[in-house]
Amino acid sequence: MSIPRGFALITGASAGIGETFARQLAQAGHPLVLCARRRDRLEALAADLSQKVRCEIVVADLEAPDSAERLAEELERRGIEVGYLVNNAGYGVPGEFLSKDWQVHQRSLQLMLTGVCELSWRLLPGMRQRGFGRVINVASLAGHLPGSAGHTLYAAIKSFLIKFSQSLALENETHGVKVMALCPGFTYSEFHDVTGTRGQVSKMPSYMWMTAEDVVRDGLRAIERGEIVHINGRLNRMIARLFAWLPSGLALRLIRKQSKNFRKL
């Protein structure tokens, strides 16, 4: 893992993969900025980790259109320089596209797509100026597979994050800044409880699952190796390669058949 230079800012830090990033980065000595909506959870996590490193919390609703600008302004007000950005906050919107009001989709796009781009745009100049930075965009194995029915925007957003990360990595590699899309598959966290798919995914075999601890540890090592896109787990990498090789029509038919196992319609 990199030598700590500046704070590590983690969005969606109150649970799951985000909380695990916070714990592992703190263990490595990185001072933290923990950002999420749930103040009580952030305060509890900060109280725990402040025994190891300095912890700042920023309670923010990253679904708000001006949230990235306000977050960057708050960091500047506190004199915080970010050397490690983990764009982790996100969720899936269950059901078919037309089953939800547009405002629901708009909020998810702001949180996981527009906000990620803007926050990266606002923090990258400082990283480049200081000659050091790490940006991890938490994408998904879903971004490597054909789109499925249900959670309509989720795979599309994650696919965007993969391409976005590739471009950013190439643009910033001569400035001491590494950028990576982290692509976990099924991970033990609150994600499936939030999306209402816990019943479906709990029927999937245990070998399909990884712990958040393994996902994060694997990802932190991968970015230091210079990987730009990292898929967690050998099985998930095999799945991605299989779908890349398959004719698109056949791949889509397989997803159509299997999507009921992990998507809520």
**Percent of the chain, pLDDT > 70?**
90
Give the residue, 229 or 203, on which the prediction is more confident. 229
Please state, in angstroms and rounded to a whole number, the distance separating the CA atoms of residues 124 and 87.
Answer: 13
Which of 221-227's residues contact partners 24+ apart within 8 Å by CB, and which partners?
Answer: 221/1, 222/180, 222/182, 223/134, 223/136, 223/178, 223/180, 224/1, 224/2, 224/178, 226/178, 227/180
Residues 116-151: tens digit of each pLDDT: 999 999 999 999 999 999 999 999 999 999 999 889
Residue 195 has pLDDT above 50, yes or no: no
Q: Would you place residue 193 in the very low, low, confident or very high pLDDT band (cuts 50, 70, 90)? A: very low
Q: What value does the mean pLDDT take over residues 18-45?
A: 97
Provide mean pLDDT across the span 28-41: 97
Which pTM value belongs to this model? 0.91
Q: Percent of the chain having pLDDT more than 90?
A: 82
Q: Read off the pLDDT of residues 223-242 as tens digits, 9 standing for 90 and up.
A: 999 999 999 999 999 999 99
Note the pLDDT tens digit of each residue in 39-80: 999 999 999 999 999 999 999 999 999 999 999 999 999 999
The per-residue pLDDT for 188 is 78
pLDDT of residue 31 exceeding 50, the answer is yes
The burial of 66, by beta-carbon neighbours within 10 Å (0-12 exposed, 13-18 middle, 19 or more buried), is given as exposed
Query: What structural domains and CATH numbers belong to the chain?
Result: 7-261 (3.40.50.720)
**Exposure b/e, 159-182, CB count within 10 A at least 16 = b:** bbbbebbeebbeebeebebbbbbb
- State yes or no: pLDDT of 2 exceeds 80: no
Give the residue numbers annotated as catalytic, written as ranges. 154
In this predicted structure, what is the pLDDT of residue 197?
Answer: 47
Tokens of 125: 């100049």
CB 197 within 8 A of CB 259: no
Q: Which residues contact 225 (CB under 8 A, 6 or more apart)?
A: none
Q: What's the sign of the alpha-carbon dihedral 58, 173, 90, 216?
A: negative
- Euclidean distance between the first and the last CA atom of the chain, given in angstroms as a whole number: 41
Confidence of residue 262 (pLDDT cuts 50, 70, 90): low
What does the pLDDT read at residue 5? Answer: 83
Q: CA geometry: angle at 58 spanning 52 and 60, to 5°? A: 145
Which whole-number Å values give the CA distances from 234 to 134, 155, 210, 237, 244, in the listed order?
24, 20, 11, 5, 15
**C-alpha span between 148 and 90 (Å, rounded):** 18
The helix (run of H) or strand (run of E) holding residue 221 is helix 212-224
The first and second tokens of residue 226, run together, are 């210079």
